[in-house]
Structure 1
């Protein structure tokens, strides 16, 4: 069955939709479905997307294509709506670079079913549902009516009140009233009627975009928050002129961010500004002319806002599904524990910022009350298939439902998959359930009845056949977690590997969580519901306090017909194992660990004792590459450029700090880079600009307790939940700069190894990506998390396309030599800086080698493999095949 995945779109949630569409594309069961990516751009064009572009980190990394972008001096990417004066012919040419433009009337030529991963206006408001129904394409999820209600928070509130559901007091603030009445009067009236805190909501946005909470009695802050929800901003002459050039660029970048700012194009004094450069020039010119202030406004704003009284209580989110008899079943509601007032965009989609507790920490009768209310609302709104319903439970036991969503976020650890896992469905199985149940739901329209019944019959036969195939697959132990500062990224990588393999015809993945310490590794086989907890610490906590909540047992019983139909093999139960148990469980291992253990050879050594094949480099090579100092020394001796470097040891620092600082300052000048010498990438990597920051870094690294030393953390501007390890030594490196090069950029390059016929190693070096850091150094989020980083693949070494190959071949030659010198096998990622000179000669300075690179859905190694024709599954398959062959050769040699 050809499944058209509709993703992207015109809303402010398009990046989450893009990432969710990729999740669906990867997790659809390859035995029974053919995934067809249909990208909707921000102008509403339907694009049959070439699959390579699905694995870009963000939409702006590939669309609009580089040669259609206006010239810019700012490091700010734009969306397609910033292109102006393009004819229909121009749009056709632009789209042809990434795929094929199709019209709704052509859908039937390409797809049998539409899986909707769209969010917000045009996606979950009934628009796309109507287009698909008109053109005879069955689609996933709710129909037109509940979608139209579900998109509007104002319509939802009115419906909930009329249907007898409890809710907060609320008022509607119209744009016309805001523009023509004194803001102070509006504020005082709302404060009197609703009390403080006030919740201010843009009614047609999801992912908490345009939602703010006013806690204190502050009319000025109220005005700013209302402007934010109307997607307006007023900036004064004093504010603008008080910014440095760098701060002005930062202001522009935040302003045009569609998640937190206004976006582009922007209306200014009735004129339209399309690009960041035009906006910067306009503001500079406006305030040069001594204008006191200017108001900026989004072209797509809100006409009214919903203002609500604040609900004091626990926040939850509950997925409701239905069985084949259309009976709604509320899955276990998840409690959201936030780091701040609003469960905002970053809190929802970045692991570790908030916590998800499933089921909600409440008495069983309260949980049942939440479930029954959610199921009742699902039915009242006539929703089909599934919905995500958000709400609060107060201390008095009152349930307030406030946001029925007819499309849920579909990132790997979203509520959508997180709660389905509690009844035993992995993501691939849950997607199969959604498709089958959606086909059944479309029968109710009375349209295309015969065709739909035929599709359902064929799908049922295919699902039955899957159960027999599962017995013949290769068992892959996917080891994730660990105890390094990168343990959360490791879980993201491990889950991604698990999901790619679970939808394949060849492999059966078994998730294994590694915990403990360097002296004693602890291994646990994980059931799917624990694997999909929010982050590594949540998984560890669940293991240590393992119990099956009575409500979970009850929901499993209620949904047993669903799980019987879609689960091919009996669910795995939590089980503690040792390395010696692995040969009875798995055939091959995929180590998804980062830092120590994993990239240091410790796990590899245990697997080699048992002759179990694994991914990546062998023990000796891993021992070298985990240590950045040793790696630098070996590469320097081999004639490869590296940063000037030195180690700082705790004992020398503590015994004579001033002498150590003097020695450092004699060798290296500020600013310099400080980082852990023997751990993974990006954690605690800091740009050190002066002696005070150096002392703070050393103090934090050598601190005696796990808790942060507040004064030192403030000097380093550490975030509250940032990972910063304790070590007895660290590495200092010179800051690599442009110097006299013509072009200068940071890159990250992946590689894959193959065996030649004579048994020697062949290196396949991918086209590196150019990495753009939002701050002083690339963060973990920028490297690995969807929608966060700006990676351009292939890297832009020079503006002249004809010179690309000359430069690229020199860079790739250095990456290959690095891999050979370090005896890297399997696959790896090498980070470097590149200086390109006037004569096109190149200096590539290696800064880091990762023997087990991050394999999260958004990591740029997948952008690179796509250029060489590998889908992520193909790449993973190649890695496992090489590891298996390498172990065979080693066994024969022994």
Structure 2
């Protein structure tokens, strides 16, 4: 019998559009001999919809986007239910595949919903998702694991809005220019700006404050941007590294999803020692946040010194046609369709492992 997969996309996030494109690619590539695919779209207000054209309707803003559905987190009868005039009608699903980039999807929130319902799902769990999404917490865990990072500072939006002068002074004395200002809880380079002087720094803070209450400021270097894909649960493997040569000053949102001039060099032109080190560090980063299923780990390779710095981990990387995560695995030897099958299998295996945990206190022995 085929497994029934719910691909969930859209969501209340600045990465809504990217999610829809990723989900469309995934739904088309899933092995039809193994899986029956149902696409669930979440609109910007948070309402859930189901239907064969839900992605296209969300992309065009054509409401209603499909048939209204809801998710019940009751472990006795969990999952997707179609909302009808006669009441709720269950929609059988075996595995949930969230393709929700950014807040309300990649940050542990929907993972918590799945955990409460006790249903199998793809990707990292609540803890890893939350830590991977929050760049400040993520960096603290990487530091604890002795993984090298560029100097950085964490700033609260309230600090910036009530007393910005000490913030500016700290950035200029501790980090110097240039710096990158980022929302702590956002992906796809949304809200990120490079600042080379005080005026640009003020503009960068203003932009980042639109997306989060916590901001990360990183010292700028002249890097090669290297990425490694990881796959696994307790046993983790890493892909060959790949290099991004951005068409813009850095690999911002436009360079990732709109412009088609950035180049991906796979495998990256690195010697064997650096290749091995990057793959090892990628696995260490994945384990540092207690990752499972999949992640993409991003590095900065300083052109001047040759030093390697861990930049960040993305627990739900993009799956568009130009996304690095599947391209790295394709060169490593795993096709797009096979990769998706393995990711689903890993989610099912993790769920089965969790069912071994007692939910009540048992006698010893």
- TM-score band, normalised by the shorter chain? 0.7 to 0.9
Measured against aligned partners, the alpha-carbon deviations of 1:519-574 in whole angstroms (never above 9, x if no partner) come to: xxxxxxxxxxxxxxxxxxxxxxxxxxxxxxxxxxxxxxxxxxxxxxxxxxxxxxxx
In the TM superposition, 1:247-326 aligns within 5 A as 301-322=211-232, 326=234
- Kindly indicate whether the alpha-carbon contact (under 8 Å) linking 2:114 and 2:121 is maintained by their aligned counterparts in 1: yes
CA positional deviation for 1:351? 6.0
Deviations 1:66-125 (A, max 9, x none): xxxxxxxxxxxxxxxxxxxxxxxxxxxx5xx62122232452632110011111111111
Q: Which runs of 5+ in 2 are unaligned?
A: 81-89, 359-365
Query: Using the alignment, how far apart are the partners of 1:151 and 1:227 within structure 2?
Result: 21
Q: Which residue of 2 aligns with 1:384?
A: 292
User: SS state of the match for residue 341, structure 1?
Assistant: coil
Is the contact made by 1:104 and 1:132 (CA closer than 8 Å) also made in structure 2? no
Structure-1 separation of matches of 2:109 and 2:356: 18
Q: Distance in 2 between matches of 1:340 and 1:366?
A: 26
Q: 1:593-632 alignment to 2 at 5 Å?
A: none
Distance in 2, Cα, partners of 1:228 & 1:211 = 8
In the TM superposition, 1:807-886 aligns within 5 A as none
Which of 100, 123, 127 lines up with 2:68 in the alignment? Answer: 100
Contact 1:212-1:342 within 8 A present in 2 as well: no
1:343-742 correspondence runs (5 A): 343-350=251-258, 352-395=260-303, 396-446=305-355
| Structure 2: distance between partners of 1:182 and 1:11 | 27
CA contact (8 A) 1:136 1:448 kept: no
2:157 matched to 1:201? no
Indicate whether 1:10 and 2:9 are aligned: no
In the alignment, structure 1 residue 159 sits paired with structure 2 residue 137: no
**Cα distance, 1:139 vs. partner?**
0.3
2:61 maps to: 62
Cα distance in 1 for residues equivalent to 2:238 and 2:59? 37
1:423–1:175 CA distance, 2 compared to 1 (3 A) = closer
TM-score when scaled to structure 1? 0.37
SS in 2 for 1:114: strand
Aligned partners of 1:208 and 1:342 also within 8 Å: no
Structure 2 match to 1:53: 54
Deviations 1:160-190 (A, max 9, x none): 112211111111222222122254x532331
After superposition, residues 9-48 of structure 1 pair within 5 angstroms as: 9-47=11-49
Deviation at 1:415, TM superposition (A): 1.3
Contact 1:330 1:375 in 2 (8 A): yes
Alignment of 1:769-780 (within 5 A): none
State the secondary structure of the residue aligned to 1:29: coil
Aligned to 1:369, what secondary structure does the other structure show?
helix
Count of aligned pairs = 341
Retained in 2: the 8 A contact 1:53–1:62? no
SS at match of 1:115: strand
- How many Å separate the matches in 1 of 2:95 and 2:150? 39
For residues 111 and 323 of structure 2, the distance between their equivalents in structure 1, rounded to whole angstroms, comes to: 23
CA contact (8 A) 2:41 2:54 kept: no
Q: Distance in 2 between matches of 1:399 and 1:343?
A: 18
Which secondary structure does the structure 1 equivalent of 2:79 belong to?
A: helix
Give the equivalent residue in structure 1 for 2:94: 112
Q: Distance in 2 between matches of 1:27 and 1:351?
A: 24
Pairwise CA distance, 1:127 = 0.9
Tell me the SS of whatever aligns to 2:226.
strand
CA distance in 1, matches of 2:163, 2:115: 44
> What does 1:120-135 align with in structure 2 at a 5 Å threshold?
120-135=102-117
Q: Who wins on radius of gyration, i.e. which is larger?
A: 1
Deviation, 1:416, is 2.0
The 1:360/1:41 distance shift into structure 2, 3 A limit, reads same
Query: For residues 271 and 173 of structure 2, what CA distance do their matches in structure 1 show?
Result: 35
**CA offset digits 1:15-37 (Å, max 9, x no partner):** 11011111111111111110011
**Partners in 2 of 1:31 and 1:351 — Cα distance?**
35
Q: Partner residue of 1:223?
A: 202
Matched, 1:190 2:171: yes
Are the equivalent residues in 1 in contact too, given 2:227–2:299 (CA < 8 A)?
yes
CA distance in 1, matches of 2:357, 2:40: 23
Q: Distance in 1 between matches of 2:298 and 2:168?
A: 27
Moved segments of 4+, more than 6 Å: none
Distance 1:313 1:21 in 2: 31
Aligned residues of 2:20 and 2:59 also touching (Cα < 8 A): no
Higher normalized helix content (fraction of residues): 1
Over the residues paired in the alignment, what is the CA RMSD in angstroms? 2.0
Please state how far the C-alpha of 1:314 moved relative to its aligned partner: 1.0
Contact 2:40 2:51 in 1 (8 A): no
Deviation at 1:425, TM superposition (A): 2.5
8 Å CA contact 2:240, 2:332 repeated in 1: no
Asked if the contact 2:267–2:331 (Cα under 8 Å) also holds between the matched residues in 1, the reply is: no
The structure richer in strand per residue is 2
Give, in angstroms, the shift of residue 432 of structure 1. Answer: 0.9
In 2 relative to 1, CA 448–55 (structure 1 residues): closer, same or farther, beyond 3 Å? farther
2-structure distance, mates of 1:175, 1:351: 31
**SS at 1:141 equivalent:** coil
Larger relative contact order (Cα-Cα within 8 Å, sequence gap ≥ 6): 2
Change (3 A) 1:423 1:229: same
